[in-house]
Structure 1
Amino acid sequence: MKHIHIIGIGGTFMGGVAAIAKEAGFKVSGCDAKMYPPMSTQLEALGIGVHEGFDAAQLDEFPADVYVIGNVAKRGMDVVEAVLNRGLPYISGPQWLAENVLHGRWVLGVAGTHGKTTTASMLAWVLEYAGLAPGFLIGGVPQNFSVSARLPQTPKLDPNSRSPFFVIEADEYDTAFFDKRSKFVHYRPRTAILNNLEFDHADIFPDLAAIQTQFHHLVRTVPSGGLIVANGREEALHETIDKGCWTPIEWFGNQAGWQIGEADENGSFDVFFKGEKAGRVEWDLLGEHNRLNALAVIAAARHAGVDVQTACEALGKFQNVKRRMEIKGTVGGITVYDDFAHHPTAIATTVAGLRQKVGSARILAVLEPRSNTMKLGTMAAALPESLKEADLVFCYAGGVDWDVAAALAPLGSKLHVGKDFDAFIAEIVKNAQVGDQILVMSNGGFGGIHDKLLAALK
Structure 2
Amino acid sequence: MHIHILGICGTFMGGVAALAREAGHKVTGCDAGVYPPMSDQLRALGIELIEGYDAGQVQLQPDMFVVGNVVSRARLADGSPKFPLMEAILDQGLPYTSGPQWLAEHVLQGRHVLAVAGTHGKTTTTSMLAWILESAGLTPGFLVGGVPLNFGVSARLGDVAPGQQRPLFVIEADEYDTAFFDKRSKFVHYRPRTAVLNNLEFDHADIFPDLAAIERQFQHLLRTVPASGRVVSNGLEEALARVLHQGCWSQVRSFGSAVSDFTAQGPHHAFAVLHAGQVVGQVQWGLSGEHNQLNALAAIAAAEHVGVPPATACAALADFQNVRRRMELRGTVAGIALYDDFAHHPTAIRTTLDGLRQQIGQQKRILAVFEPRSNTMKLGTMKAQLPWALKEADLAFCHTAGLDWDAAQALEPLGAAGLTADNIPTLVQQVMAAVQPNDTIVCMSNGGFGGVHTQLLAALAEKFSAQ
Distance 1:417 1:36 in 2: 27
The Cα shift of 1:30 comes to 1.0
Q: How many residues align?
A: 451
What is the 5 A alignment of 1:72-83? 72-76=70-74, 77-83=83-89
* Deviation string, structure 1 residues 169-224 (Cα, Å, up to 9, x no partner): 00000000000000000000000000000000000000000000000000000000
Which residue identity does 1:393 align to in structure 2? A
The CA distance in 2 between the partners of 1:351 and 1:36, in whole Å, is: 29
Q: Deviations over 1:76-118 (max 9, x none)?
A: 3212111111111100000000000001100000000000000
CA deviations on 1:345-393 (whole Å, 9 max, x unpaired) are 0000001111111112111101111111111111111111100110110
Q: Which residue of 2 aligns with 1:327?
A: 329
Aligned to 1:274: 276
Letter in 2 for 1:262: G
- Give the whole-Å Cα distance in 1 for the aligned partners of 2:153 and 2:248: 35
The aligned counterpart of 1:377 is: 380
Q: For 2:120, which of 114, 125, 128 is the aligned residue?
A: 114
| 1:222 counterpart letter in structure 2 | V
Counterpart residue number, 1:12: 11
Q: Which residue of 1 aligns with 2:261?
A: 257
SS at match of 1:222: coil
2: CA distance, partners of 1:269 / 1:410 = 36
| Residue from 119, 123, 143 that aligns with 1:137 | 143
Residue from 416, 419, 438 that aligns with 1:416: 419
CA distance in 2, matches of 1:36, 1:413: 37
Deviation string, structure 1 residues 388-438 (Cα, Å, up to 9, x no partner): 110110100001111111111111101110012212222212221111111
Q: What TM-score, normalized to structure 2?
A: 0.94
CA distance in 1, matches of 2:249, 2:158: 28
Give the partner amino acid of 1:201.
H
SS in 2 for 1:213: helix
The residue aligned with 1:65 is 63
Partner of 1:55: 54
Aligned twin of 2:441: 438
Q: Distance in 2 between matches of 1:141 and 1:278?
A: 29
Superposed CA offset, 1:133-156 (max 9, x none): 00000000001100000002353x
User: Matches of 2:56 and 2:437 in 1, distance apart?
Assistant: 53
Paired with 1:70 and 1:379, the residues of 2 have a C-alpha distance of: 27
Cα distance in structure 2, aligned partners of 1:307 and 1:256: 18
Q: In the TM superposition, what is the alpha-carbon distance from 1:163 to its structure 2 partner?
A: 6.0
Partners in 2 of 1:339 and 1:420 — Cα distance? 20
Q: Structure 2: state its 5+ residue gaps.
A: 75-82, 462-467
Q: Given that residues 160 and 168 in structure 2 are in contact (C-alpha distance below 8 angstroms), is that contact kept between their aligned partners in structure 1?
A: no
**1:428 aligned counterpart, secondary structure:** helix
- Could you tell me how far 1:339 is from its partner in structure 2? 0.4
Name the CA distance, whole Å, in 2 between partners of 1:450 and 1:226. 43
> What is the distance in 1 between the residues matched to 2:405 and 2:43?
37
| Mapped partners of 2:31, 2:364: distance in 1 | 41
8 Å Cα contact 1:153/1:162 also seen in 2: no
How far the C-alpha of 1:330 sits from its partner, in A, is 1.1
Partner of 1:90: 96
Q: Distance in 2 between matches of 1:162 and 1:140?
A: 28
Q: Distance in 1 between matches of 2:390 and 2:349?
A: 7
Greater CA deviation, 352-361 or 165-174? Answer: 352-361
Do the aligned partners of 2:110 and 2:166 also contact (CA within 8 Å) in 1? no
Q: Distance in 1 between matches of 2:133 and 2:345?
A: 29
The equivalent residue for 2:319 is 317
Structure 1 CA distance, aligned partners of 2:166 and 2:219?
A: 29
Distance in 2 separating the partners of 1:364 and 1:423:
15
Post-superposition CA distance 1:26-50 (Å, at most 9, x none) = 1111111234443233223222222
1:260 is paired with a residue whose SS is strand
- Decide whether the 8 Å contact of 1:397 with 1:419 is kept in 2: yes
**Correspondent of 2:390 among 384, 387, 396:** 387
Q: Using structure 1 for the length normalisation, give the TM-score.
A: 0.96
Equivalence for 2:106: 100
Supply the AA of the counterpart residue of 2:70.
Answer: V
SS of match in other structure, 2:223: helix
CA distance in 2, matches of 1:451, 1:256: 44
Instruction: Report which stretch shifted further, 445-454 or 186-195.
Output: 445-454
Paired with 1:16 and 1:379, the residues of 2 have a C-alpha distance of: 30
Residue 341 (structure 1) shift: 0.4
The match for 2:350 is: 348
Q: Deviation of residue 322 (structure 1)?
A: 0.4
SS at match of 2:146: coil
SS in 1 for 2:55: coil
Structure 1: how far apart are the matches of 2:405 and 2:423?
16
Render the CA deviation track for 1:227-252: whole Å, top value 9, x for unaligned.
00000000000001100111110010
Q: Which residue of 2 aligns with 1:228?
A: 231
User: Which letter maps to 1:390?
Assistant: A
With 311-320 and 40-49 compared, the bigger mean Cα shift is at: 40-49
- Residues 250-279 of structure 1 show CA distances to partners (whole Å, capped at 9, x for unaligned) of 010121311110216xx1100111211111
Provide the secondary structure at the position in 2 that maps to 1:221: coil
Give me the CA root mean square deviation: 1.4
